[in-house]
Amino acid sequence: MDNPVDSRALDLALDLARRGPLTENPQVGCVVLGPGGEVLGQGWHRGAGTAHAEVAALADAAARGHDLARTTGWSAVVTLEPCRHTGRTGPCTRALLDAGVARVVVGAPDPTPTAGGGAAELRAAGVDVVVLDDPRAHELVRPWARAHRHRRPAVTWKYAATLDGYSAATDGSSRWITGPVARADVHARRAQHDAVLVGTGTALADDPALTVRDASGAPLPQQPLRVVVGLRDLPAGARLLDGSAETVHLRTRDPREALAALWERGVRSVWLEGGPRLAAAFWRAGLVDDVVAHLAPALLGSGRSALGDLGATSIGDALRLQLTGAHVLGGDVVVLARPTDPTPGPVPDQTPSDQQQEA
């Protein structure tokens, strides 16, 4: 990216986009710049049915006292190509044109036939459009695009383990393998997903709450759906039935069947926190899209492995992943990885029922 003003604005727009949830719509951020490159407004998409990032940024500029209709030469820097279709909200291309935008910088093109084409529409109206194809902007769209390509929720498997790969000691104890900084990171990532999923084994053994809490331990106002998969009943006093968040019990052992049921409920992203057996079932079915591993600098030597049997009998059978990130969190390390993606292919148009939910 040659333009340092565009570069700084895109960095800010990407940071804004990551505040949004991984739900029915992609994460998108937008920054409105004045003719001298000053920030006039900023916004991000906060979830289905709310204002898109461009509209939020325009509203923020107005709230700051900027009259864009009387400002010449202002621009919008947005992580994803502005949409040109009407869903729950109107097209962002029309909002930008009505506001008098002169230039639009796009981080990544929209991969869907319905919403894509916004850049061409803006150019046809005389707007200067620059499409950067920034890898970070493409990465933001990836979970949403993958979910719609496969017509199932995108699945992120999270686990915590010692350096030698154990998630619990021989006596079953597992609190706490990692420290408070890593646990806060789990809550922040969990909060971005539509649903958090465990098996009945984990639900019965650990009695987890699976709610999202802030740094002080207080629950957040918006909670992901709590999902339990398996045939066994939960006791009446289980924390998962305490009413602090919605809980659904899917009485199946089939991961694909569970995801199909969640897709029908409008769930587009799943945070998988189940035990080793459930995690292995998702891996064997090819249903894990991303991995978030929190590793503590500790050794147990025996105990419960983080992952169950995948059928590998030799090193050649190992499931190799692509490392996408790693950094220190307090006294622990978080490792981000994913299976190697085949050529992804196009994102299909949404069905009419999807279009009512999305956008």
Nearest to 88 by CA among 24, 14, 36: 24
Going 193 to 195 to 201 to 207, the CA torsion angle's sign is: positive
Annotated binding-site residue? 98? no
What is the separation of C-alpha 247 from the centre of its chain, rounded to a whole number of angstroms? 20
Annotated binding-site residue? 139? no
Annotated binding-site residue? 285? no
Annotated binding-site residue? 30? no
Cis before 176? omega within 30 = yes
Annotated binding-site residue? 206? yes
Measured CA to CA in angstroms, residue 256 lies from 104, 151, 259, 269, 281 at distances of: 41, 11, 5, 14, 10
| pTM for this prediction | 0.79
Annotated binding-site residue? 327? no
Annotated binding-site residue? 174? yes
Residue type, 281: A
Q: Which pLDDT score, from 0 to 100, does residue 110 have? A: 87
Q: Which pLDDT score, from 0 to 100, does residue 148 have? A: 82
Identify the active-site residue in 24, 54, 121, 358: 54
Rounded Cα distance, 329 and 257, in Å? 35
Annotated binding-site residue? 279? yes
pLDDT tens track, the chain, 359 positions: 578 999 999 999 999 998 887 767 888 999 999 999 999 999 999 877 789 999 999 999 999 999 998 899 999 999 999 988 766 667 899 999 999 999 999 999 988 766 668 999 999 999 999 999 999 999 888 888 888 888 999 999 999 999 999 999 999 888 889 999 999 999 989 988 999 999 999 999 889 999 998 877 788 888 999 999 999 999 999 999 998 899 999 999 999 999 999 999 989 899 999 899 999 999 999 999 999 999 999 999 999 999 999 999 999 999 999 999 999 999 999 999 999 865 455 566 554 334 333 44
Annotated binding-site residue? 8? no
Residue 77: burial class (beta carbons within 10 Å; 0-12, 13-18, 19+): buried
Rounded Cα distance, 176 and 170, in Å? 14
**Pair 291, 306: CB distance under 8 Å:** no
Find the distance separating the first CA and the last CA of the chain, reported in whole Å. Answer: 29
Rounded Cα distance, 55 and 43, in Å? 8
Phi and psi at residue 16, to the nearest 5°: -65, -45
Rounded Cα distance, 9 and 238, in Å? 47
Nearest to 25 by CA among 46, 43, 3: 46
Nearest to 140 by CA among 51, 293, 30: 30
Q: Locate 311 and state its tokens.
A: 């059928």
Name the β-bridge partners of 159: 293
Residue ranges and CATH numbers for the domains of the chain are 4-147 (3.40.140.10), 151-339 (3.40.430.10)
Q: Which pLDDT score, from 0 to 100, does residue 217 have? A: 78
Q: Which pLDDT score, from 0 to 100, does residue 343 have? A: 47
- Residue 317 CB partners (closer than 8 Å, separation 6+): 310, 311
Rounded Cα distance, 120 and 117, in Å? 5
- Residue 46 CB partners (closer than 8 Å, separation 6+): 19, 20, 21, 56
Annotated binding-site residue? 167? no
54 is a catalytic site residue: yes
